[in-house]
Structure 1
Amino acid sequence: MDAEQLKRETIAYSKEIGIDKIGFASADVFGELKSRLIRQEQLGYHSGFEKGSPEERTEPERLLPSSQSIISIALAYPSKMENPPKNEKGARRGQFARASWGEDYHTVLREKLQLLGSFLREKVPEVELKLMVDTGELSDRAVAERAGIGFSGKNCAIITPEFGSYVYLGELVTNLPFAPDEPIQEGCGDCNICVDSCPTDALVQGGQLNANRCIAFLTQTKGFLEDEYRTKIGNRVYGCDTCQTVCPFNRKKDFHLHEEFEPDPEKVKPVLRPILRISNREFKEKFGRMAGSWRGKKPIQRNAILALGHYREIEAVEDLVHLMKNDPRPVIRGTAAYSLGKIGTPECFEELEMARGDETDEKVKEEMEKGLAFQMN
């Protein structure tokens, strides 16, 4: 079978298994990306979650020595839900970013790519493949851009004509000589809305992200959140959608093509207080199939505590006092102390004063002082 016929059959099969968009790219070195990655490292803009060296992330033959082409796929996910639960006083809610709605996309995309790989093996038994979804060395966005899936927007997301940027990406590196597709020309033009709207100025300029300032990254860290970001994360417990929701290309883009990605409102907009005392088993049962659970419950709990402080949720005082006095994790004790100060009732300050005398961790004591400082405001 010639490569062109195999490409047509691969595209047809991809539609049969529910892949929303497919594109083909060469396995040449991503030279421009390599230069950008090196520069990002020099500037200290990497998050630390990135896998591999700049060479591994930009040279497909390091991952598959026989590589000749890369197949890029995209699956669309919803941007809206029916009847979202109300965020009310006494039952304040957090929010997971849209990319964590439904079942973990890594699992879903891997299954699609495995089916695609099995199809290719049936056609070409000697085919060699390397599958990646997000956590692999290659940049999903760079591959998708080269394969014509979409263009790289100023918000650093791939923007497709059909689905906006609400797509998950994955790829198969192959030793098959598929003809590459044409890239889509950049389309942001003079628009700078995403850069101007970023809550933490993480978008340094169009197409350049300081990941260390990005709320999507910050909500996944496990330590104390720096003071300047605590009010800016609002009620986000995982991820951030701002640079996508403000994008004109995403206007009226809402696709419900995959049942696996449909949101459970009580999971993606959870009531905050129950999260504070959730056990590991309960956390796994409720949130374990979501992409936003990958770092465990600690970051989610810390963010929930900050959100309750953000709302000045008086009904949460008892829960926060319990955490401040009893939780074995300094980050949770200290963050609870800070949020008690934000809520700012006389009871909050009394409890902070009493707990300060019993606390032995210096960092937690600092957070208690920050909480007590709100009394002066």
Structure 2
Amino acid sequence: MRTERLKEEIKQYAKEIGIDKIGFATADVFGELRERLRRQQELGYQSGFEKGTLEERTEPQRLLPEAQAIISIALAYPTRMKNAPKSTKEERRGLFARASWGVDYHHVLRDRLEKLTAFIEERVPNAVNKIMVDTGELSDRAVAERAGIGFSGKNTSIITKEFGSFVYLGEMMTNIPFIPDDPVEDSCGDCRKCLDACPTGALIEGGQLNAQRCIAFLTQTKDFLPDEFRTKIGNRVYGCDTCQQVCPRNKGVDFHLHPEFEPEHDIAKPKLKPMLRISNREFKEKFGHISGSWRGKKPLQRNALLALGHYKDTTAIAEMIDVMNNDPRPVIRGTAAWSLGKIGTNEAFRAIEAAMTAEKDERVLYEMKKGLAFGNETGA
């Protein structure tokens, strides 16, 4: 009875500190998840960003030997930007995924979980707790599903009744043996809108994701983007929302419950040309507080170059030529050359040909040749 009363007190306190959903799960082994992760490894579907061994990711007591239960929390984030700035022919804009709008959610959820921990430890002095938000070994989604926060959709997101799938997740392992909540029934049914809409076919039947084909993952890589994906990312500079946007469970969903998550226009939809020449200090000052900055400026600049190519933005040619000729990073020089070819003006092709005479890096030269090949396609 004492544990049940504490559970109700925690739920009430969670509301007071701005936690939108909270659920309680056992700390048992995630057996089904382990088999799914093993299958992902075998198929080469993992992103490489995963933390921990297969055992650590599926056996909570390897991370906290005293663990008896896991508390899962969810915070809703906005899906629509009020008075969003428009892209113009003179100033094209990129787009950060909604999960990167506002302050880095890792900090916000950790703050809520730390408050929850302090609340519990005041009442149970011998409580042992361990907090994780996204970067820990456990799967936030698997924990949330077990705790009744929502069900795992075919788009591999946790879908809640109240907020759709636009929620951030975090969890706390504890040695307190809370009675678990009931899981939510899977409601995807025969719907396959997310599978059909995925631009790269990254979603596999049965709610499995091939991270190597997922645009959200690809926009975070630092090397040359594989050719087949370059025309798929459009103006995305970080992340992808397509599989969530088409989900019927997300129709009309837009919650503005936390000021920290409100998007700043020129950050959530940044002008692309200024991103090409931004310094490290400027990048940190402008983007350092959002989750989409965690890989540094290089992937975002590469994606901005691809977006300018996607738009065939002739107003960016001079700046892109400067990048192609002078940037010290081969990936950025080569991507600039490829995108100049994509824009396809005579000025762009002449610049690529001139740059080839001074370029020494074989990978960049290869990209320059691919850029020039666009001229053969168009007859330029």
Is 1:247 aligned to residue 247 of structure 2?
yes
Query: Offset of 1:158 from its aligned partner?
Result: 0.0
Report the secondary structure of 1:180's partner residue.
coil
2:55 corresponds to: 55
1:288 corresponds to: 288
Query: Offset of 1:54 from its aligned partner?
Result: 1.1
Q: Is the 8 A contact 1:272 1:308 kept in 2?
A: yes
Query: C-alpha deviations, 1:39-72, integer Å up to 9, x for none?
Result: 1000000000000111100100000001000000
1:351 corresponds to: 351
What amino acid is aligned across from residue 290 of structure 1 in structure 2?
A: I
Query: Offset of 1:90 from its aligned partner?
Result: 1.3
The aligned runs of 1:1-377 (5 Å cut-off) are 2-377=2-377
With normalisation by structure 1, the TM-score equals 0.99
Query: Offset of 1:118 from its aligned partner?
Result: 0.4
CA distance in structure 2 between the partners assigned to 1:118 and 1:374 by the alignment: 60
Query: Offset of 1:321 from its aligned partner?
Result: 0.3
After TM superposition, where is structure 1 displaced by more than 6 Å over at least 4 residues in a row? none
Sequence identity of aligned pairs in percent? Answer: 68
Q: Is the 8 A contact 1:192 1:206 kept in 2?
A: no
Report the secondary structure of 1:347's partner residue.
helix
Report the secondary structure of 2:138's partner residue.
coil
Query: Offset of 1:204 from its aligned partner?
Result: 1.7
Query: Offset of 1:81 from its aligned partner?
Result: 1.0
Q: Is the 8 A contact 1:105 1:291 kept in 2?
A: yes
The number of residue pairs the alignment matches comes to 377
Report the secondary structure of 2:171's partner residue.
strand
Report the secondary structure of 2:130's partner residue.
strand
CA distance in structure 1 between the partners assigned to 2:327 and 2:183 by the alignment: 52
What amino acid is aligned across from residue 327 of structure 2 in structure 1?
A: D
Coordinate RMSD, CA, aligned: 0.6
Report the secondary structure of 1:161's partner residue.
coil
Q: Is the 8 A contact 1:145 1:158 kept in 2?
A: yes
What amino acid is aligned across from residue 373 of structure 2 in structure 1?
A: A
Q: Is the 8 A contact 1:78 1:255 kept in 2?
A: yes
Report the secondary structure of 2:170's partner residue.
strand
What amino acid is aligned across from residue 173 of structure 1 in structure 2?
A: M
Query: Offset of 1:2 from its aligned partner?
Result: 1.1
Report the secondary structure of 1:358's partner residue.
coil
Q: Which is further off, 203-212 or 238-247? A: 203-212
What amino acid is aligned across from residue 194 of structure 2 in structure 1?
A: C
Query: Offset of 1:128 from its aligned partner?
Result: 0.3
Query: C-alpha deviations, 1:133-175, integer Å up to 9, x for none?
Result: 0000000000000000000000000000000000000000000
CA distance in structure 1 between the partners assigned to 2:216 and 2:55 by the alignment: 25
CA distance in structure 1 between the partners assigned to 2:12 and 2:241 by the alignment: 33
CA distance in structure 1 between the partners assigned to 2:31 and 2:239 by the alignment: 30
CA distance in structure 1 between the partners assigned to 2:304 and 2:54 by the alignment: 35
Report the secondary structure of 2:73's partner residue.
strand
Q: Is the 8 A contact 1:27 1:60 kept in 2?
A: yes
Report the secondary structure of 2:70's partner residue.
strand
Q: Is the 8 A contact 1:195 1:206 kept in 2?
A: no
Query: Offset of 1:206 from its aligned partner?
Result: 3.4
Query: Offset of 1:19 from its aligned partner?
Result: 0.3
CA distance in structure 1 between the partners assigned to 2:91 and 2:246 by the alignment: 27
With normalisation by structure 2, the TM-score equals 0.99
CA distance in structure 1 between the partners assigned to 2:326 and 2:206 by the alignment: 45
Give the unaligned 5+ runs of structure 1: none
What amino acid is aligned across from residue 336 of structure 2 in structure 1?
A: A
CA distance in structure 1 between the partners assigned to 2:236 and 2:54 by the alignment: 31
